[in-house]
Amino acid sequence: MTAAEALREGAARLAEAGIEGAQRDARRLMAHALGIAPDRLSLVLRDPIPEGAQAAFEDAIAARLRRVPVSQIIGRREFYGREFRVTSDVLDPRPETETLVDMALSQGFARVLDLGTGSGCILLTLLAERPAATGLGTDVSEAALSIARDNAARLGLADRVEFRLGDWFAPVTGDFDLIVSNPPYIALSEMPDLAPEVRDHEPRQALTDEGDGLGAYRAILADAPGHLRPGGRILVEIGASQGEAVATLFRAAGLQDTTVHSDMDGRDRVVAGRLPEAK
Ligand code: GLN
C-alpha cells in the first residue's frame, strides 16, 4: 500500500466519524507516523508505506476517532512560531491565546509572572521574544510543571525561568512588571457543551473553576495588586462573554486603564489593567 492510499483511507474514516478537518488531521497524523514534517508529505506519498509507519498511522487514526486532539497524539503544538511539547496534562496551546502574547509584547517588561502556566507556552514565548526578561510560572499540577520545564529546556530558556507548584499566588514571591494568566474560565454549566476533544481529553482543572467561570479571576485579583510594581500590567485571557464582569473585578481591585480586547475572530478575549504609578 502506498502512503497516499493509507492517507486516503484514514481521512475517510475520520470524515465518516464526523470529525471536522478530517483531511488536514489525517495529513498531520501521517507526517507524524512517517517521522517527517507535514510540508514534506507530498514527496513520499507515492512510495509504499513502511510497515512500522502504517501501524503508527493506524494507531493515530484510532486515537483521533476516540477524539484525542491531534496535538496530544503527536505530542506537540506550534504556538507563536515555536514548538511546544503537549500532553493530556496541559491545555493545548490555542491560537486565540496569541492575542494575549501580542498585547504583552506591545510594551516593555523585565520580570514576568504566569499564573497557571500549563505547557508554559505564554511565559516561554514572552521570554523568547524578550531576551533580557526573566520569569516565574506557577501551576497546581506537578505534571504540568514538568512539561513546562521540559519546554523551557528545549527552547534554551531554562536559565531565565523558574516554575513553582501551588495555587495562584501561594508560591509567588517578589513583584513583577507583568502578570499574565490564561486561567480556567469555563462555567460548570457550560462544560457539557464543549467539544469532546476538549471536555474528555484536556485537563479539567485547566478548563473550569467548577463554578460560574469567574472564580479564578477573583482569586487572582485578590493578590495581583500586591505583586505588581508601580505601573505594572496584568493581562488575563477570558471567555467571550466575560469582558464586562472581569473588567469590573479589575476596577474593584484598584487597577486602572482597564480595557477589554478582542481576538482575531472579533470575540472578547483579553482584559488588561495596570497598577497606578506610585504617588
Ligand atoms: N479557550 C479554552 C476553550 O474554550 C478554555 C481555556 C480556559 O478555560 N482557559 O476551550
Query: Using an 8 Å Cβ cutoff, are 45 and 3 in contact?
Result: yes
Under the banding of pLDDT at 50, 70 and 90, the label for residue 278 is confident
Residues 266 and 182 in one domain: yes
What spacing in Å lies between the alpha carbon of 187 and ligand 1's midpoint? 10
Residues 152 and 263 in one domain: yes
Name the domain boundary from 66, 98, 117. Answer: 66
Residues 45 and 100 in one domain: no
The DSSP bridge pattern shows strands 268-274 and 228-237 to be antiparallel
Residues 149 and 51 in one domain: no
| Mean pLDDT on 210-232 | 98
If one counts the domains in the chain, the total is: 2
| Mean pLDDT on 122-129 | 98
Q: Is the CB of 145 under 6 A from ligand 1?
A: no
218 pLDDT higher than 90: yes
- List pLDDT tens digits, range 178-198: 999 999 999 999 999 999 999
Tell me whether residue 81 is in a domain. Answer: no
Residues 239 and 184 in one domain: yes
Tell me whether residue 78 is in a domain. Answer: no
Residues 138 and 27 in one domain: no
Residues 95 and 33 in one domain: no
- SS3 of 142-200: the string is HHHHHHHHHHHHHCCCHHHEEEEECCCCCCCCCCEEEEEECCCCECHHHHHHCCHHHHH
Burial class (CB in 10 A: 0-12, 13-18, 19+), 68: middle
Give the mean pLDDT of the chain.
97
Name the domain boundary from 66, 100, 120. Answer: 66
Tell me whether residue 173 is in a domain. Answer: yes
- What percent of the chain has pLDDT above 90? 99
User: Shortest CA distance to 257 belongs to which of 235, 226, 224?
Assistant: 235
Residues 132 and 262 in one domain: yes
194: domain CATH number is 3.40.50.150
What spacing in Å lies between the alpha carbon of 235 and ligand 1's midpoint? 15
Residues in a beta bridge with 260: 271
- The model's pTM is 0.95
What spacing in Å lies between the alpha carbon of 70 and ligand 1's midpoint? 17
279 pLDDT higher than 80: no
Q: Which of 96, 180, 181, 185 is the pocket-test mutation for ligand 1 (most atoms within 8 Å of CB)?
A: 185
Residue 21's domain comprises: 3-66
What spacing in Å lies between the alpha carbon of 184 and ligand 1's midpoint? 7
Residue owning grid cell 499566588: 169
Tell me whether residue 230 is in a domain. Answer: yes
List, in order, residues 6 or more apart from 185 with CB less than 8 Å away: 208, 209, 213, 214, 216, 217, 237, 238, 239, 242
Tell me whether residue 77 is in a domain. Answer: no
pLDDT value of residue 198? 98
Tell me whether residue 85 is in a domain. Answer: no
| Mean pLDDT on 130-147 | 98
Residues 60 and 143 in one domain: no
Q: Which alpha helices (DSSP H) does the chain contain, by range?
A: 3-16, 22-34, 41-44, 51-65, 70-74, 98-105, 121-129, 142-154, 196-201, 204-207, 215-223, 243-252
pLDDT value of residue 216? 98
Residues 182 and 120 in one domain: yes
Residues 95 and 217 in one domain: yes
- List pLDDT tens digits, range 245-255: 999 999 999 99
Tell me whether residue 12 is in a domain. Answer: yes
Under the banding of pLDDT at 50, 70 and 90, the label for residue 140 is very high
Tell me whether residue 79 is in a domain. Answer: no
Query: Using an 8 Å Cβ cutoff, are 237 and 100 in contact?
Result: yes
Q: C-alpha grid cell for residue 112?
A: 514576568
Q: Which of 79, 90, 94, 188 is the pocket-test mutation for ligand 1 (most atoms within 8 Å of CB)?
A: 94
Residues 127 and 236 in one domain: yes
pLDDT value of residue 5? 97
The DSSP bridge pattern shows strands 176-181 and 161-165 to be unpaired
